[in-house]
Structure formats: structure tokens, C-alpha cells
Amino acid sequence: MNQVVIKRYHVAIAIVAALFIGIVIGNINIANLNNQLSPLPLPEITEGQRGELGIDKNINESNIDQYLGRSDSVYRDMRMLKDPANYEAIEGDSYLSGYVEGFEVVSFPYLTNVIGLPKEVGKTYDGKVLFGQNDKGEYIANYEESMKILEDLFPKDKNIFLMCGGGGYAGMTKSMLVKLGWDTNKIYVVGGYWYYEGQHDVKVKKGEGEKATYAFWKVPYHDIKFDTLTEKKND
């Protein structure tokens, strides 16, 4: 076999190998895509105290890793970077000490006034909010942009996975969204980061006690600049 034939033979082998690898990778990608877009179980509230927070029975801190990275979903962590409430009183963390990879932080206390925190936790942020509440429990927009901001942060055409520290803010967020017209069957209250033991934990806190520091620059955070919004004149 002369050099030209050998060279052509090697080229042919390389092409066949490349095609084979491409097919395999393509099949893997298709399998991953099919897995990502596989039907989700309908939201189902769990039993007991966690159920009172609205935490889902089927998708929660124990298995959320299986549902990360879906192109048909968004992931929201509803904590503040530093919450004025004393969550240490219930063995939590008032600071956002970490988050699950893929989740983006939207502070629930900026959306509406927080009602119903445990007595030992005390009060949280009580400044400007996107929506007030009337005596009937209805949400009233405080700004012309309030609903647009909410729709951008929580797209109605996506599944919405909600998380916070212990589950409370996440449950309150779902309740609010549903009252404002979101589909309850597309919103999952995953529960609390404090109980997460999966493989996608992004640590923000370093050290303990007075020496603790927080790398908030790591956090994918959606801030709401109230001073840039137009106050709505409600009748």
C-alpha cells in the first residue's frame, strides 16, 4: 500500500470516527433535552407544617437538582441579601449565605408587605414595595411599572420554581402570583435553601461569627430601584 493510499485510508477513518462521535454526542444532547423538557408532576402541597408554607411534595430541596437547567422554567430565590428580620432566632440566617446554582434572587419583601412572620423573627423590611394590599387581601399596584416588573421576573409562559431560606417567602410569592392571575399549576414552592443538600450549592458566606464575610457579588440579583419608578395614583 503506497503512501497516498495510506493517507486516504487514514482520512477516511478520521471522517468515520468524527461522524460516529457526532452522532453519539447528538444523541446525548437530544436525550438531555428530552429529559429537561419531560413533563413535570403537578404541584402538590406536602403535609404538616411544611404544607402550611405551601412547600411542594414532589419537587423540593431533596430533589430539585433533577429539575435544574430546564429551558421551559425560571428559578427564583425570594430572600433579601440582608434581611432585617432575625432569622437566627429560628436557626436560619438573616444574610443570604448561599444559593442553589441556577436560581436568581428576587427579594419578596420588595414585592409586597410581608405578613405572618413567626413572632420570634420580628419584623422585616417595611419600606417601598411594588404592590400594597387592601382590606380584602387584594394586591394593588403602587407603581405604573409594578405589573410589568412582576411579569418580567416571573414569566407566565414558564414553570416557576420558588425557593427562599425556610420556605415562607417562597410560599407567599406563589400566593401573591396566583391572586394576580398566574397559573397555580406552573408554580412550585421548592422550600428552603437552609435544608438543601444537593450538588449545586453556591456558597456566599465564608467564616463564622463576627469574622463571617459574604461574597454578594457572586449572587445573580434582581434589584428594584423604586426611585426610578412612576408612582400610581390609585382611586
| 214: CB partners within 8 A, 6+ apart | 81, 82, 95, 96, 97, 204, 205, 206
Tell me the residue ranges of DSSP E strands in 108-158. 131-133, 139-141
| 84 and 5, same domain (yes or no) | no
Query: Does the residue 42 lie in any domain?
Result: no
| Structure-block grid coordinates of residue 151 | 411579569
Query: Does the residue 131 lie in any domain?
Result: yes
| 29 and 124, same domain (yes or no) | no
| Structure-block grid coordinates of residue 232 | 400610581
Question: What pLDDT score was predicted for residue 99?
Answer: 98
| 167 and 198, same domain (yes or no) | yes
Question: What pLDDT score was predicted for residue 36?
Answer: 56
**Tens digits of per-residue pLDDT, 58-106?**
999 999 999 999 999 999 999 999 999 999 999 999 999 999 999 999 9
How far apart are the C-alpha atoms of 15 and 188, rounded to whole Å? 47
Residue 173 belongs to domain with CATH number: 3.40.250
Query: Does the residue 41 lie in any domain?
Result: no
Other CB atoms within 10 A of residue 89 CB: 13
Q: Which residues of the chain have pLDDT under 70?
A: 1-36, 234-235
Q: What angle do CA 220, 223, 227 make, to 5 degrees?
A: 165
| 13 and 96, same domain (yes or no) | no
| 175 and 101, same domain (yes or no) | yes
Question: What pLDDT score was predicted for residue 225?
Answer: 96
Instruction: Report strand pairing: 221-222 vs 205-206.
Output: unpaired
How far apart are the C-alpha atoms of 235 and 105, rounded to whole Å? 33
Instruction: Give which of 123, 126, 153 is closest to 224, Cα–Cα.
Output: 153
Q: Label residue 117 exposed, middle or buried (CB < 10 Å: 0-12, 13-18, 19+).
A: middle
Query: Does the residue 234 lie in any domain?
Result: no
Instruction: Give which of 99, 214, 227, 91 is closest to 163, Cα–Cα.
Output: 99
| 3 and 117, same domain (yes or no) | no
Question: What pLDDT score was predicted for residue 76?
Answer: 98
| 27 and 70, same domain (yes or no) | no
Cell numbers 428580620: residue: 85
Question: What pLDDT score was predicted for residue 234?
Answer: 64
| Residues facing 145 on adjacent strands | none
**Tens digits of per-residue pLDDT, 38-47?**
899 999 999 9
Question: What pLDDT score was predicted for residue 34?
Answer: 44
Query: Does the residue 233 lie in any domain?
Result: no
| 213 and 121, same domain (yes or no) | yes
How far apart are the C-alpha atoms of 114 and 108, rounded to whole Å? 8
Total structural domains within the chain: 2
| 118 and 70, same domain (yes or no) | yes
Range of the domain at 15: 1-36
| 100 and 123, same domain (yes or no) | yes
Query: Does the residue 70 lie in any domain?
Result: yes
